[in-house]
Amino acid sequence: MSIQQLDQQYIAPTYGRFPVALVKGQGAQLFDENGRRYIDMGSGIAVNTFGACDPVWTEAVTRQLHTLGHTSNLYYTQPQTRLAEMLCQRTGMEKVFFSNSGAEANECALKVARKWGEEHGGRHVIVTLKNSFHGRTIATLAATGQDVFHKHFGPFPEGFRYVTPGNQEELAEALAQPDVCAVFMEPIQGEGGVEPLEASFLKLAEKLCQEHQLLLMLDEVQTGNGRTGKLFAYMHDGLQPDVVTTAKGLAGGLPLGATLLGARVASVLGKGDHGSTFGGNPICAAGACSVLERLNEDLFREVCEKSQAIVDALKDCPNVKRVSGRGFMLGISTVHPAGDIAQRCLADGLLVLTAKDKVRLLPPLNISWELLQEGIDILKKNV
């Protein structure tokens, strides 16, 4: 039986998979079981920061694999502590909790907000945004401001309110309520259609949190780790969040989530308040250290230059209505359905993603100019 046939027989049918079975890759090039090559502009949904089988990352992971693969969080490990130190030093945050995924990183943030609110007047409501996406656990689905994700799985935990992105009056009214403890936002709404929040809206949220003594929490699961041309997207606007969550590209292809805690909440979680069997696993942490130490200003500058090249190449295409996003997190509004475009690109050897009605591009941060141009040409042909 083929890979696709075995998948259909044994794996729960929760994914709308493209009709291709990938078996190997190198950098921004992937190959299927028939040996056909594809240019990867999806990076495993912003996960493969330096593409497939990056040699520096592979060496770091392999070296750790031969040293210590796993131990519980009842003991100290060097890769985990080194990674936490690197994250705190580069962000100004004070503590890190490690988990396995973005949803788990967000779950931790919600628990931090709830405990902090309990300690500050018994507040428990967390304000999030309509069109947001924070994960697929019950609590992170409740935090997600999209009705389409609220079907079938209720009742959901209470304590979440949604405001319209960009609506400053709604935001001000919501954050003025006495039962609110935090606001939780994505700087760029990824699954919501690659829609950036305006700087003025983000800055207002920060100001209101200071005025009302609330927590400013940012979901950078997808936007973090260099994806937007900065280490984290909030750095474009000079924000000082209390909590930042990230995952996806952090470990370059291995499952790792992180919840970064600022000074106001650094000591909120105590022994027994939270935990994770695999969070901060030595192998994943070693991979993340390898990624993080190479996320520098030269790379960020190149990401921005290549992003602009994509935008410039598409702006005169008659079927392209708009390009949104930042850095290597771009959404393309087109005349034709995004799903059809993704299928046509696949047939021509280019892997792209979709987000609502947009074609979504999330290339490896180090994709070569040559492969980028080849991918752009295929994309322009098919939009």
* Co-location of 211 and 320 in the same domain: no
* Co-location of 102 and 185 in the same domain: yes
Among the candidates 292, 321, 346, a domain finishes at 292
* Co-location of 238 and 300 in the same domain: no
Domain containing 373 — which CATH number? 3.90.1150.10
For residue 376, the model assigns a pLDDT of: 98
* Co-location of 305 and 164 in the same domain: no
For residue 155, the model assigns a pLDDT of: 95
Q: Give φ, ψ of 359 to 5 degrees.
A: -80, 130
For residue 217, the model assigns a pLDDT of: 99
* Co-location of 286 and 305 in the same domain: no
d(CA 205, CA 267): 23
d(CA 60, CA 37): 27
Output the tens digit of pLDDT for each of the chain's 383 residues: 899 999 999 999 999 999 999 999 999 999 999 999 999 999 999 999 999 999 999 999 999 999 999 999 999 999 999 999 999 999 999 999 999 999 999 999 999 999 999 999 999 999 999 999 999 999 999 999 999 999 999 999 999 999 999 999 999 999 999 999 999 999 999 999 999 999 999 999 999 999 999 999 999 999 999 999 999 999 999 999 999 999 999 999 999 999 999 999 999 999 999 999 999 999 999 999 999 999 999 999 999 999 999 999 999 899 999 999 999 999 999 999 999 999 999 999 999 999 999 999 999 999 999 999 999 999 999 99
* Co-location of 180 and 315 in the same domain: no
d(CA 351, CA 247): 22
Q: Give φ, ψ of 323 to 5 degrees.
A: -120, 125
For residue 74, the model assigns a pLDDT of: 97
For residue 105, the model assigns a pLDDT of: 98
Among the candidates 250, 269, 292, a domain finishes at 292
For residue 343, the model assigns a pLDDT of: 98
The answer to pTM > 0.95 is: yes
Instruction: Kindly report the three-state secondary structure assignment for every residue of the chain.
Output: CCHHHHHHHHCCCCCCCCCCCEEEEEECEEEECCCCEEEECCHHHHCCCCCECCHHHHHHHHHHHCCCCCCCCCCCCHHHHHHHHHHHHHHCCCEEEEECCHHHHHHHHHHHHHHHHHHCCCCCEEEEEECCCCCCCHHHHHHCECHHHHCCCCCCCCCEEEECCCCHHHHHHHHCCCCEEEEEECCEECCCCCEECCHHHHHHHHHHHHHHCCEEEEECCCCCCCCCCCCCHHHHHCCCCCEEEECHHHHCCCCCEEEEECHHHCCCCCCCCCCCCCCCCHHHHHHHHHHHCCCCHHHHHHHHHHHHHHHHHHCCCCCEEEEEEECCEEEEEECCCHHHHHHHHHHCCEECEEECCEEEECCCCCCCHHHHHHHHHHHHHHC
* Co-location of 335 and 214 in the same domain: no
Amino acid letter, 341: I
d(CA 10, CA 5): 9
* Co-location of 196 and 120 in the same domain: yes
* Co-location of 184 and 230 in the same domain: yes
Domain containing 185 — which CATH number? 3.40.640.10
* Co-location of 48 and 104 in the same domain: no
Among the candidates 259, 275, 292, a domain finishes at 292
Number of structural domains (the chain) is 2
* Co-location of 347 and 366 in the same domain: yes
Host domain of residue 319: 3-54+296-382
For residue 126, the model assigns a pLDDT of: 98
* Co-location of 117 and 179 in the same domain: yes
